[in-house]
Amino acid sequence: MCPGCDIAVAMLDNASPQPGQHPLGQLADEAARAPLIPEPEPPEDEQPLYAARTKVYPQHVSGTFRRVKWIVLCITLGIYYLLPFVRWDRGPNAPSQAVLIDFPARRFYFFFIEIWPQEFYYLTGLLILAAMTLFLMNAVAGRVWCGYLCPQTVWTDLFQAIERFAQGDRREHLQLDREPWTADRIWRTGLKHFLWLMVAWWTGGAWVLYFGDAFATVHDLATLEAPFIAYAFIGLLTFTTYALAGWMREQVCVYMCPWPRIQAALTDECALNVTYRYDRGEPRASVKKAAALHAQGLPAGDCIDCLQCVHVCPTGVDIRGGPNLGCIQCGLCIDACDAVMQKIGRPTRLIAYDTDINIKRREHGEKPIYRIVRGRTVLYALIIAVVGALMTYTLATRHNDGVSVLHDRNPLFVRLSDGSLRNAYTVRVLNKSLEKKTFALSVTGLSDADIDAIGGAGFSGGSPLIEVGPDQSREVRVLVTVREQLPPGASVPITFTIAPKTGGPTASAADHFFAP
Ligand code: SF4
Ligand code: SF4
């Protein structure tokens, strides 16, 4: 008997019919939703070395993990599409977009944080945090990133929902694909691709809004006044979203993404993974067969081999075969199997988030254990805490002003006609505040030195003054001349300091003064 009918028979045995519905009607409903019987595979020696892709027709499923996935999908896509329109008041002359990558001004704005090009080490910190968070997630709950948060998963999920809307659920879609190209098939397939392209286009459109004022960019795009590069990027992202989420789907996870390979090397027996509890499920037997086996005193597992877990899988994996590179750990097979178990009156969680160690322990009659606090989880959490604290501290205590210095490479020094020695530098002064500022530049480390800034705004107490506009940086050439006699080949460490004329914290940068 087909496994789907098996479930139906079990329902007739175990469940009471809905009011007004005949049990045979239920049976027919269940049978209509039952999976198709897979084609038998050719013998192993006749199978090609490179198998063609088997198209996956994931079946709709309801349950806890499906609900969690919908919630995560709405939150993540909502953030992606709407974040560019969120405003953040930074005062006059500053952009009011909360998250903005301003390439012309070379700034990155993230709510109250403004990153200058000189501070791109924050990006390194962010990358370390992202990697460690991924490792920690993996140590605790396997590929939870892949199953719920990865953009490829989120957009594929959305595209599959659109596909089901246009072409029907698994069974209907399979039948539709077997039909000739009737008007109905053309219309439904066309509708799917149209909706996919709309989503892909919105995705590309939202991306460019992060690189300029979102409202102005939307206006420019609509009136065809946006720069060509904006249209090019929208086109590119429309194509990649359509291709990756619509056509390639699970192939991205299985063949293209490096994370499953790295993840497999980072996991351990205590990490929670979507696991088929073979200790409970095997040997597989239909409900009737299991009853017969039990009557004879023979063992029968809880798995009735209905294949529901396989049919709902977005990557087409049979989790009963053990850990699999294609399994993104989305938990949908848990929902499917739980529904089957409920229908046949057996305990749920035959497939569950579980650890390898617990399967072994249950086999030996021991209680399952969950060890979230382990060496690796503590280490990852510690790195996240240290890097996070360092970044928070440097962000909280950083100055609004900054200075960087670059010594002239050639010549390193010049001997003047009066015997004094001169070194030249390029000094960049940063003013991150929203008002124009004047800074006094001084040099320490030399006992008798004159400082001159070419293009400076005069002198104050022997120190050249440098004016810098609001939220700008300015580069000036600075000449340092020394009359004292330095030892041959000397390299004297010196410090350049800028002090705002209106008072406030100073900023410094170190360099050297070279003698012949
Ligand atoms: S096997 Fe289960 S958890 Fe893994 S991808 Fe398929 S449905 Fe998701
Ligand atoms: S594990 Fe559950 S859903 Fe999968 S075949 Fe067995 S009974 Fe069916």
Give residue 350 CA to ligand 2 midpoint distance, Å: 8
What is the model's pLDDT at position 168? Answer: 96
Give residue 334 CA to ligand 2 midpoint distance, Å: 9
In a domain, 411, yes or no: yes
pLDDT at position 227 over 70: yes
Residues 328-350: what's their mean pLDDT? 96
What is the model's pLDDT at position 11? Answer: 43
In a domain, 376, yes or no: no
Across the chain, mean pLDDT equals 89
- Nearest C-alpha neighbor of 250 from the set 175, 334, 155, 335: 155
Give residue 144 CA to ligand 1 midpoint distance, Å: 11
- 510: CATH: 2.60.40.10
For 437-479, the pLDDT digits (tens) are 999 999 999 888 899 999 888 888 888 999 999 888 899 999 9
What is the model's pLDDT at position 40? Answer: 66
Domain boundary residue among 251, 267, 295? 251
Domain count, the chain: 2
Does ligand 1 come within 6 angstroms of the Cβ of 58?
A: no
Roughly what angle, to the nearest 10 degrees, separates helices 64-82 and 332-343?
150
**Cut 0.85: pTM above it:** no
Give residue 68 CA to ligand 2 midpoint distance, Å: 21
Domain that holds residue 176: 64-119+150-251
For 67-111, the pLDDT digits (tens) are 999 999 999 999 999 999 999 998 877 899 999 999 988 889 999
Identify which ligand lies nearest to the alpha carbon of 278.
Answer: 2
What is the model's pLDDT at position 106? Answer: 86
Name the range with the highest mean pLDDT among 1-10, 118-127, 242-251. 242-251
Rounded to whole angstroms, the Cα distance separating 438 from 427 reads 15
Which of 59, 148, 317, 325 to mutate to test ligand 1, by most ligand atoms within 8 A of the CB atom?
A: 317
Rounded to whole angstroms, the Cα distance separating 226 from 235 reads 14
> Which residues contact residue 478 at a Cβ distance below 8 angstroms, ignoring those fewer than 6 apart?
405, 424, 425, 426, 427, 441, 451, 452, 453, 454, 464, 496
In a domain, 229, yes or no: yes
Strands (E) across 44-93 are located at none
Residues 104-120: what's their mean pLDDT? 87
In a domain, 405, yes or no: yes
What is the model's pLDDT at position 53? Answer: 82
For 192-205, the pLDDT digits (tens) are 999 999 999 999 99
Residues 127-154: what's their mean pLDDT? 95
Domain boundary residue among 191, 220, 251? 251
Give residue 311 CA to ligand 2 midpoint distance, Å: 10
Q: How many CB atoms within 10 Å of residue 11? A: 20
Domain boundary residue among 199, 231, 251? 251
Which of 33, 62, 65, 308 to mutate to test ligand 2, by most ligand atoms within 8 A of the CB atom?
A: 308
Rounded to whole angstroms, the Cα distance separating 29 from 371 reads 44
Phi-psi group of 327: left, alpha or beta (phi > 0 → left; psi -120 to 50 → alpha; rest → beta) = beta
Distances in Å between the alpha carbon of 310 and those of 41, 61, 166, 278, 332? 16, 11, 22, 15, 10
In a domain, 432, yes or no: yes
Which of 280, 327, 340 to mutate to test ligand 2, by most ligand atoms within 8 A of the CB atom?
A: 340
pLDDT at position 15 over 90: no
Burial of 162 (0-12, 13-18, 19+ CB in 10 A): buried
Identify which ligand lies nearest to the alpha carbon of 275.
Answer: 1
What is the model's pLDDT at position 457? Answer: 85
